[in-house]
Structure 1
Amino acid sequence: MAYFLTADGGTESLRARVYDGNGNCLGTKAVPYRTHFTPGRAEQDPVDWWRNFVTASRGAITDAGVEPAQIEAIAYATTCCTVVALDENGGALRPAIMWMDVRAHEEAEEVLATGDDALKLNGAGQGPVSAEWMIPKSLWLKRNEPEIFGRAHRICEYQDFLTFKLTGEWAASLDNAGLRWHYRSREGGWARDMLAALDLSELEGKWPQRMVPPGEVIGTLCPRAADELGLLRSVRVVQGGADALIGMIGLGVHKPGQLAMITGSSHLQFGVTEAPLNAPGVWGSYADIVYPDRWIVEGGQTSTGSIINWLSRLTGGPLDYDMLNARAAELPPGSEGLLVQDHFQGNRTPHTDPLSRGAIVGLTLAHEPHHIFRAIMEAIGFGTRAILDAFAQAGYQSSEMTVGGGASASQLWLQIHADTAGIPVRVPASPDAPSTGSAVLAGVGAGYFASIDEGIGAMVHPGRVIEPIADNVRRYQEIYPRYAALYPALKEVLA
């Protein structure tokens, strides 16, 4: 039996898991790390990433009850775009700028103003460009911390940092670069004209020059990593990518017309197409970043599960989720007059407005925590619907949605998503999509499967289906226009 080690480097923790060749998770271990927040900013210490990777990996292998010598390959998914500035030895020169950090919103506007051809990936060239992405963040770094920028041997991502620590090699994931660096595998590679227009051409030399697609072997463990992990040096390190995109693999979403939603601190929605599709309000389409000869269209919500965590902090948590879910489920759609705008850390799509903010509207003295709890979930469901509407206007529509991640643990949240979107929601047998997807990639890299599609067939198994409730769908159809009206109204107030 083959055994594979995976890691999911998320916003709040790193979780390692051990899988067998049939897609069964045999052992798991999660280790939390701190994120340092200030308004519009979020940072982490890369030292924590590696320390947690080692601790979690050893713990998962022990929990699985397998011998370390039986691990054949490693693959991992991480947050994207979490940008790190590293020296020649892979040491961090400053804290990492997290994916949700939107300090580079002015630089994002300048990227859009270049009018470069690579911008067709941003709403068919109409933009906007997100402050979360690689080039705006790098431009911010050059302007605001020029000494750090100048010293940086590599400016790359969480994913690439782990790759260097594991193998001693500098390699970039085609998945991350195609998604967030304006790299186009079929049209000239790096966006050199864009960099030149921004006086940022030296950034190209600071990026890893080897571009590796998901499922391809980067190398084997370097001696130091093998010793720290307690593994054989022959273990193959296989390219992964952005957690949500690798999650598509773990959900089994690989055929044109299918739709995936990865949930957690944020939500991401992805569709698969067999031809390019570029339209306003939609990000992409991105060629070959997950599957060869297929394109990915994208939407996303910056803060979703993180709003629930905010509520927990606000109320002095931890929250009693079982009680809140039970009481919230008793409420009718609409949470008895409460309406929430879910832009607590800005909006990713369809508005792509980093300066938009959250709001709770309609509060009365009769409302209790479970009202707010449900209203937050409804707002996130409405935010998802807004993205699916943008997809439909672009010509991409799906009759169902496959969901993985944190929200899949809540039957109420799944039902609200089915009801607000008006389509069935599928949850695979293993909802830990980024880890399952990483296991598939490890199996491909280890030579057990000829393709990612074949690996999906062997390791991803069907689970349950949540059908929309007709009465709830009708009620949410009535409420949704009020939600949609919040953004333009609040934009005026917050301007």
Structure 2
Amino acid sequence: MSYVIGIDLGTSAVKALLINKEGTVAGEASRSYPLYHEHTGWSEQKPDDWVDATLEALGELAAAIGPEASAQIEGISFSGQMHGLVLLSGAGNPVRNAILWNDTRTTAQCREIERTLGDKLLGITRNPALEGFTLPKILWVRENEPAAFEQAELFLLPKDYVRYRLTGERHMDYSDAAGTLLLDVAAKRWSEEVLAAFELPASFCPPLVESHGQTGTLLAELAQRTGLPATVKVFAGGADNACGAIGAGILSEGLTLCSIGTSGVILSYENDKNKDFAGKVHFFNHGKEDAFYAMGVTLAAGYSLSWFKKTFAPDESFDELLAGIEEVKPGAGGLLFTPYLVGERTPHPDSLIRASFIGVDGSHERIHFARAVMEGITFSLHESVDMFRAAGKTVNTIVSIGGGAQNPVWLQMQADIFDAKVVALENEQGPGLGAAMLAAYGSGWFESLEACAAKFVKHAKQYSPQPEAVEAYKGLFRIYQQVYAQTRSLNEALAAYRS
């Protein structure tokens, strides 16, 4: 039996999945590593912590299946947390800790990027300047740590650093490069105009490669350390959201991903590189060659329900909290919730806005509030679906993963609010599976990623929109869309009173 490994390098831990040719998970291992918050808003990690954790996870997988089976591992690929900055010296060593995607120190640099590039920013990079992206971090280091920046000759993203340490080769795939604000997304090349505007040499950027492209083989000493064969092929991999899309089979027009974790993501496949969303949603290169995806983000999706449970039912399970939720009709008895607990991203990039319950009256019970929270999260995600459709995209099938896919009532609610067929997965492995699929495709197991998905991605129950609920939610959604504008100034005034 042949195997591939998908490595998902997350913010808190790395997870390695061993997958066979049937798409079955034959083993998994994970290792955690610390986060460093030296100042408010800072979020950093030590790049070599990722490497050590990855090698330990690989060693555990190999030991679990034994040397004979380990010799049948053909390929390794990666999914990685996006945007994080790793600056390398000429000798290939990090000059400082990595600055992560959730670091917020770079507001001034974002404004500088906007002033310098103006309308060219969206025209080239297809994304607005946000604190999480990589270019603002580069500018911050140059301005605030000139001695460290003087040593830097190249930058990498997190998974690319791990892959470099495993192979000795430095590359970056298009899907991860799209989140740097340095890539001409449509042309699939580093933007000479952006680099020149900020006086960065072309040599500062690594060579670009497709996500399924082979970038080397495992270094001999690391093969010996982990118990993997030195012949194992190592492939570029992709950004976590791109790999999550691959792992959910989002590989053709009309297919959209709904992922509800702490935050929520609506991600839709796109084959038109010129599709213009005016920066209201993210537009990135896909892990599939010459494809793209549009993506909207709800900052407090699953977190909103977790907050509600912690605050009003701390000693109950989610099943107990939501018992009877299906008996409450759409609209929760005229109660609306906006999930702005920590601000919002799409379509309102606003750090000051906060959540609201609108329409509370004496007839409402806890179950109405719980239903309103679920509906509000889904309405927020639907804002992205609504924008996709307004831009001419087809959204008719949505694959739902994460916490929102664990509750049948919520899955039906998604189908009704999105007015689309919603599909759950039998065995949800997320970005790690997508990384393994890139290794399987790169290793020649399948003629295309679509053929790989047909084997590896297994659909479970489907939920179709119910016409009466669809109509009710259409009206409620238009009311929901008014709440942001009508509470914005109130929340700005209240910000001074927040502790």
Q: Distance in 2 between matches of 1:307 and 1:146?
A: 41
**Residue 483 (structure 1) aligned with residue 486 (structure 2):** no
**Residue 98 (structure 1) aligned with residue 95 (structure 2):** no
Tell me the residue number matched to 2:86: 84
- Pairwise CA distance, 1:251: 1.6
8 Å CA contact 2:404, 2:410 repeated in 1: yes
Query: Structure 2: where are the runs of 5+ without partners?
Result: 493-499
Tell me the residue number matched to 2:386: 389
- Kindly provide the CA deviation profile for residues 59-89 of structure 1, in whole angstroms up to 9, marking residues without a partner as x: 4455667832222111121121222334456
Q: Distance in 2 between matches of 1:365 and 1:151?
A: 64
- Pairwise CA distance, 1:323: 2.5
RMSD: 3.3
Q: Distance in 2 between matches of 1:61 and 1:311?
A: 42
Q: Distance in 2 between matches of 1:142 and 1:368?
A: 54
Cα distance change of structure 1 residues 122 and 201 upon mapping to structure 2, 3 Å threshold: closer
- Pairwise CA distance, 1:179: 4.1
8 Å CA contact 1:444, 1:450 repeated in 2: yes
**Aligned partner letter, 1:150:** E
Cα distance change of structure 1 residues 491 and 47 upon mapping to structure 2, 3 Å threshold: farther
Tell me the residue number matched to 2:354: 358
Secondary structure class of the residue paired with 2:237: strand
- Pairwise CA distance, 1:243: 1.1
| Equivalent residues in 2 for 1:300-379, closer than 5 Å | 300-308=297-305, 320-326=317-323, 328-329=325-326, 331-335=328-332, 339-351=336-348, 353-362=349-358, 374-379=371-376
Tell me the residue number matched to 2:495: none
**Residue 115 (structure 1) aligned with residue 118 (structure 2):** yes
8 Å CA contact 1:122, 1:129 repeated in 2: no
Q: Distance in 1 between matches of 2:265 and 2:338?
A: 17
- Pairwise CA distance, 1:338: 5.4
Tell me the residue number matched to 1:280: 278
**Residue 240 (structure 1) aligned with residue 237 (structure 2):** yes
Which of 262, 266, 276 is the matching residue for 1:265? 262
Tell me the residue number matched to 1:194: 194
| Equivalent residues in 2 for 1:287-306, closer than 5 Å | 289-306=286-303
- Pairwise CA distance, 1:105: 3.0
Tell me the residue number matched to 2:23: 23
Q: Distance in 1 between matches of 2:108 and 2:364?
A: 39
8 Å CA contact 1:9, 1:15 repeated in 2: yes
- Using the size of structure 1 for normalisation, the TM-score is 0.86
Tell me the residue number matched to 1:184: 184
**Aligned partner letter, 1:424:** K
Query: Structure 1: where are the runs of 5+ without partners?
Result: none
8 Å CA contact 2:90, 2:151 repeated in 1: no
50-59 vs 6-15, which moves further: 50-59
Q: Distance in 1 between matches of 2:225 and 2:329?
A: 53
182-191 vs 17-26, which moves further: 182-191
- Kindly provide the CA deviation profile for residues 77-114 of structure 1, in whole angstroms up to 9, marking residues without a partner as x: 11212223344566544443332333323322332331
**Aligned partner letter, 2:219:** C
8 Å CA contact 2:75, 2:232 repeated in 1: yes
Tell me the residue number matched to 1:155: 155
**Aligned partner letter, 1:479:** L
Which of 422, 433, 447 is the matching residue for 1:436? 433
**Aligned partner letter, 2:200:** S
8 Å CA contact 1:382, 1:480 repeated in 2: yes
Task: Tell me the number of residue pairs that the alignment of Structure 1 and Structure 2 aligns.
Answer: 487
Q: Distance in 2 between matches of 1:446 and 1:254?
A: 19
- Pairwise CA distance, 1:8: 1.7
Q: Distance in 2 between matches of 1:311 and 1:49?
A: 34
Q: Distance in 2 between matches of 1:90 and 1:319?
A: 51
8 Å CA contact 1:118, 1:191 repeated in 2: no
Tell me the residue number matched to 1:205: 203
- Pairwise CA distance, 1:345: 4.4
The structure whose Rg is larger is 2
Cα distance change of structure 1 residues 369 and 444 upon mapping to structure 2, 3 Å threshold: same
**Aligned partner letter, 1:82:** G
Q: Distance in 2 between matches of 1:156 and 1:13?
A: 19
Identity of aligned residues (%): 27
- Pairwise CA distance, 1:432: 1.7
**Aligned partner letter, 2:389:** A
Q: Distance in 2 between matches of 1:2 and 1:408?
A: 31
220-229 vs 64-73, which moves further: 64-73
Secondary structure class of the residue paired with 1:67: helix
Q: Distance in 1 between matches of 2:346 and 2:417?
A: 17
- Pairwise CA distance, 1:308: 4.9
- Pairwise CA distance, 1:245: 0.7
